[in-house]
Structure 1
C-alpha cells in the first residue's frame, strides 16, 4: 500500500498521519509492535445524530448477562449488533499511544527514514451497528407484577426498608434501569402506562381491587362533601382519604390515575376514567403486533374512542399511532360523519 507522496522527515506516526493526509496523498502502513487480536477494542458505527451523545458520555449500555446489550440515550433504545465487513478495517492508534522504536514487519530502516509510516495495531473484522428498537417494557410489567401493592401493605417505612434489603421483589429506580432495557424517558413512560407509583423509594403497581376501593371511597366522599368533579382540592381530598385509612401516596396516586390537574393543587375528575374495566391495559403485551391481536380477539370491531386508550402507550421506531393503525388495522366509515370503526387487517 505504497503510492508514497513526498513526506516530512522520518517518523512513525499514529492516526494523525492518516487524518492529516493531503488530497491524493497516501501513507505506508506497518504492523505495530503490539499488533494482535485486541478483543477489548471494538468499532462502533454511529448515526451522526448520536455522535454528540457518545462524545459527551450521555449513553449507557444496559442488559443482564443473559441478554443482548442495548445502548440507550435519554429517550431512545438501540440494539447493538455485529456486522461483518468484506474489506479489512485497520485500527491505527493515536501517536501519543504509540510505543516507538519497536520492531515492525515489512518496514526496513531505509523506509523508516524516507517515509511516514502508520502502524496498525489491529485488523477489525467488522463493526457494531445500532438499530433503534422499541423499549422492552414487558420486563418492567413482569417485575412490578411480582408484588403489587395491596391494602395489607401499609407498612411502616423502616419495615419496608428492611424488606427491600432482603426481598428482591421490591425495585427502586436504580434497580429498574439496571434490569429493564429502556431509556430513562421510555422507562418513565412505561411506569406511567402501568399506573405505577413510588412508595418509600420503591416502584409498585397497585392491586386493582385496592384501586377499586379507594375510587369508591373517593366517589362516596365526593357526594358526601358536595365536591365538584371539576374542582377537587388536593389537600382536602388527600386528607379525607387518609382519615379513611389510605396512605398519602395512594391517595395522591388515585387523583393522578382518575383525574387531571387543572391548577395548582386543584384536580378535575375524568368521568371516563371513573369506570373500572376488567380489560386492563396493563395486562396487554407491549409489542404492537401482539397487542392488536389480543385486542381483536377480545372484540372484532373497535370505535376509535374505545380503542385509543389501549394503544396510546405503544411505541415502535418510525411509526406514529396513525402508522400503527395503518399497519395493523382496517378502517371503515359508512358515512363521512360516522365514527370510524377499526377491525383486524
Structure 2
C-alpha cells in the first residue's frame, strides 16, 4: 500500500500541483474477487426505473432462449442491448466521492479501495412496444368451447395450465399492465382462474341466446338492459355470461360492444362497429 510520501512523489513526477487536488487520496488495488467480474453485469437505468427500485418494486427480465430479452416494469417494456465503452469500468464497492468527505477529515488521509471487478460494456435500455402477438397465440391454442367442450377435450386440462396469469407473465414479453390491457382487447375471460378466449362456435351460441332474447322482448339493438339480460340468460352459461357481455356496473350494453356480425331472422347483415 502506498504511503503519503509515495503519493506526493508520484504527483511531483507527473508535474501535478497537490494544491489543485482534493487532499484525500484514494489508492486502488485489485482484490481477490476481481476475477469474478464475469458474474457481474452493469445496467444503465433511467431515473424513472431507479425510482421503481427505490420504492421496493421489481424489474423483471422476460424472454425464452430463442427470444431477445426485454426488461419490464409494472407498466412499461424495454429492449436490452449491450453497449461497449472505450473506457474501462471499475467495480468499487467501497469507493467514496468528494461529497462523502467531511470537513474534519485529516488532510493527509489516504483511502485504500479494492477493485472487485472490471467491465468494458454495460446493458442499456430503450423503451419499446410490448411484444403481444404471442399472447393471442397462447390463448388460441386452447379456446374455451363451453362446459361440454371441456369435457370432450382430453388435452384441454394440460394445455390450459399455460393460461394462468402467472404463466402468461412468464411467457409474454410485456409488462403486467400491458398484458392485462391486451387481454381486455382480445375479449379474454378469466374462467376458473385461467384466461381463455371463446371458441368462435361457442361465441356464436352465446350470441344466438342474446339475439333471441332481444327479439322476444322487442328491444332495440342499440340499447339492451344488461341486468335483465343476465337475469334471463345467466342460468344457461353462468360461468361466462357476466364476463363476456359487459362489466357488471353497466346497466346497458349496445350492439357495438359485441364487435361481431349478426344475422337477423330476415337474414340481413348487421355490422356492429367497434
Give the TM interval when normalised to the shorter protein.
0.7 to 0.9
Q: Which deviations, in whole Å up to 9, do the C-alpha atoms of 1:267-294 show, x marking residues without a partner?
A: 22144746429xxxxxxxxxxxxxxxxx
Matched, 1:191 2:183: yes
3-state secondary structure, aligned to 1:248? coil
Provide TM-score, normalisation by structure 1. 0.59
Aligned to 1:36: 35
Aligned to 2:16: none
The gaps in structure 1 that reach 5 residues or longer are 8-22, 96-112, 278-305, 310-345
Residues 147 and 170 in structure 1, CA contact (< 8 A), matched pair in contact too: no
Give the superposition deviation at 1:129: 0.7
Give the superposition deviation at 1:49: 1.5
Question: How has the CA–CA distance of structure 1 residues 50 and 153 changed in structure 2, closer, same or farther, with 3 Å as cutoff?
Answer: farther
The gaps in structure 2 that reach 5 residues or longer are 8-19, 96-107, 263-272
Residues 94 and 114 in structure 2, CA contact (< 8 A), matched pair in contact too: no
Residues 214 and 224 in structure 2, CA contact (< 8 A), matched pair in contact too: no
CA RMSD of aligned residues (A): 3.3
Give the superposition deviation at 1:47: 0.8
Residues 27 and 116 in structure 1, CA contact (< 8 A), matched pair in contact too: yes
Residues 137 and 187 in structure 1, CA contact (< 8 A), matched pair in contact too: yes
Question: How has the CA–CA distance of structure 1 residues 248 and 190 changed in structure 2, closer, same or farther, with 3 Å as cutoff?
Answer: same
2:124 is aligned, of 120, 129, 135, to 129
Matched, 1:173 2:165: yes
For residues 90 and 126 of structure 2, the distance between their equivalents in structure 1, rounded to whole angstroms, comes to 24
Question: How has the CA–CA distance of structure 1 residues 274 and 28 changed in structure 2, closer, same or farther, with 3 Å as cutoff?
Answer: closer
Matched, 1:207 2:202: no
Give the superposition deviation at 1:264: 3.4
Q: Which deviations, in whole Å up to 9, do the C-alpha atoms of 1:311-339 show, x marking residues without a partner?
A: xxxxxxxxxxxxxxxxxxxxxxxxxxxxx
Matched, 1:269 2:259: no
Q: Which deviations, in whole Å up to 9, do the C-alpha atoms of 1:104-141 show, x marking residues without a partner?
A: xxxxxxxxx97212211111111111111111111111
Give the superposition deviation at 1:163: 5.2
Give the structure with higher Rg (CA): 2
Aligned to 1:13: none
Aligned to 2:233: 241
3-state secondary structure, aligned to 2:120? strand
Provide TM-score, normalisation by structure 2. 0.73
1:219 is aligned, of 192, 208, 211, to 211
Question: How has the CA–CA distance of structure 1 residues 143 and 135 changed in structure 2, closer, same or farther, with 3 Å as cutoff?
Answer: same
Question: How has the CA–CA distance of structure 1 residues 144 and 153 changed in structure 2, closer, same or farther, with 3 Å as cutoff?
Answer: farther
